[in-house]
């Protein structure tokens, strides 16, 4: 099955389930029967199922369907959970402190999930066409190698040419650039302005250089480009990993709040009855 066919199948199925579920809840509410009890328990089960995906990732070998199948279920059941949550709170903003907190955290979890899915679909392709493929953990090593190479090139050039045009520029503009990750926010918004400016400044030096220094300049230009690509990979790969540090802890918080909500609802159920 192609990805497109799978996507259409899942969307249609999700819409059918959402419409059917909404119809059931609507008919119950129109007949003046409360829906909070049923929708609440179903929502709790759905939330536990969604949270269990992280557990599945740790259970590598038991035959529990592939992680890709789990992710598909996670995404589409997650969409259904938003609709179910809407029905559960009566499509209004809750007024109690705990309920408000649950609603806010739920929205944050859902939003971070949507954002994560979008990042997972958008970033990989961009990484593929920009620079060499690098392992995230190895980026500091590659960065150090680039810096050492750039410094060596500058020192050699200064010794051979006896002039300080390139070394001055390096000290003024490039030393900091090579020292650590740079322009992270620019990379987030896909802007290449900083490196374009840097390369432009490098090119403008060419008229003041000897033939030997021009060769150094060419190599330096390649190193600047490679460093920028490395920074891009660091930022993008960081985003691909980083969103989970929002989504997963918030899921934990949500489950704790929901647990408290369930206890409180049952504790006061007799009083309200």
Partner 1 sequence: MTDEDVARLLAIEPFSAMDPRNFPERVGLRGILRNDTRIRRYRNGTVVVRQGDYGNSAFLILAGSVRVILEGLDPKLVGRSERRRRSVIGSVARLITNPRSPESRDARRYPQMQRPADDQSPDAERAFVQDVNILRDFPAAFEQTTNDVMTTGELFGELAALGRIPRSATVVADGECELLEIRWQGLRDLRKYDAALRQHTDDRFRRFGLSAALRASPLLAGLSTELLEQVTSAAEFETYGSFDWYGTFQQLRKRDVDPLSAEPVIAEQGHYPNGLVLIRAGFARVSRKLGHGEQTFNYLGKGDVYGLAELVHNAGAAQPVPLASTLRAVGYVDVVRIPTRTFEQVILPNLPAGMRPPAALPVDPSGGGPTPSRPDRPGGHEGHGIDPPMLEFLVEHRFINGTATMMIDMDRCTRCDDCVRACASGHDNNPRFIRHGPTIGHHMIANACMHCADPVCMIGCPTGAIHRSEESGEVVINDLTCIGCGTCAASCPYDNIQMVEIRDRSSNDAIMIDPAQGKAIVKATKCDLCIDHHGGPACERACPHDALKRVDMRDLDSLARWLRR
φ/ψ bin of 90: left (φ > 0), alpha (ψ from -120 to 50), beta (otherwise): left
Sign of torsion over alpha carbons 149, 153, 154, 159: positive
Q: Which is nearer to partner 1, 135 or 171 (CB)?
A: 135
Residues 82, 101, 114, 127: which binds partner 1 (CB under 8 A)? 127
Asked if 61 interacts with partner 1 (CB under 8 A), we say: yes
User: Minimum distance between the CB of residue 117 and partner 1, rounded to whole angstroms?
Assistant: 10
> How big is the CA angle at 230 (ends 116 and 166), to the nearest 5 degrees?
150
Please give the C-alpha separations between residue 179 and each of 66, 147, 151, 173, in angstroms, as whole numbers.
Answer: 42, 7, 11, 11
Tell me the C-alpha distance between 214 and 203, whole Å: 10
Asked if 8 interacts with partner 1 (CB under 8 A), we say: no
Asked if 7 interacts with partner 1 (CB under 8 A), we say: no
Token digits for 100?
């408000």
Residues 17, 24, 44, 71: which binds partner 1 (CB under 8 A)? 71
Tell me the C-alpha distance between 232 and 186, whole Å: 9
User: Minimum distance between the CB of residue 197 and partner 1, rounded to whole angstroms?
Assistant: 29
Stretch that binds partner 1, among 53-61, 94-102, 144-152, 175-183 (CB under 8 A): 53-61
* Total count of residues recorded for the chain: 273
Asked if 59 interacts with partner 1 (CB under 8 A), we say: yes
Using CB under 8 A, list all residues that contact partner 1. 2-3, 57-63, 66-68, 70-71, 119-120, 123-125, 127-128, 133, 135-136, 237, 240-241
């Amino acid at each position: 099955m192609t990805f497109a066919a799978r996507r259409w199948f899942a969307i249609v199925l999700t819409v059918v389930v959402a419409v059917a579920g909404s119809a059931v809840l609507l008919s119950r509410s129109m007949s003046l029967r409360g829906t909070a009890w049923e929708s609440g328990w179903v929502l709790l089960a759905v939330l536990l199922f969604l949270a269990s995906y992280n557990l599945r990732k740790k259970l590598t070998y038991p035959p529990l369907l592939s992680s890709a199948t789990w992710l598909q279920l996670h995404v589409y059941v997650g969409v259904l959970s938003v609709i179910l949550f809407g029905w559960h709170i009566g499509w209004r903003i809750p007024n109690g402190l705990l309920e408000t907190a649950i609603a806010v955290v739920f929205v944050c979890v859902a939003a971070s999930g949507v954002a994560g899915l979008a990042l997972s679909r958008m970033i990989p392709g961009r990484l593929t066409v920009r620079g060499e493929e690098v392992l995230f953990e190895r980026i500091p090593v590659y960065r150090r190698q680039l810096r050492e190479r750039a410094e060596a090139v500058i020192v050699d050039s200064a010794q051979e040419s006896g002039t300080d045009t390139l070394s001055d520029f390096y000290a003024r503009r490039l030393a900091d650039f090579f020292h650590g990750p740079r322009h992270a926010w620019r990379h987030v918004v896909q802007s290449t302005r900083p490196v374009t400016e840097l390369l432009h400044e490098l090119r403008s030096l060419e008229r003041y250089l000897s033939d030997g220094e021009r060769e150094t300049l060419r190599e330096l230009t390649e190193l600047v480009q490679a460093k920028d690509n490395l920074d891009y990979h660091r930022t993008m790969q960081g985003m691909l990993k980083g969103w989970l540090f929002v989504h997963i802890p918030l899921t934990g918080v949500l489950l704790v709040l929901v647990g408290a909500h369930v206890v409180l609802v049952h504790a006061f159920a007799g009083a309200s009855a």
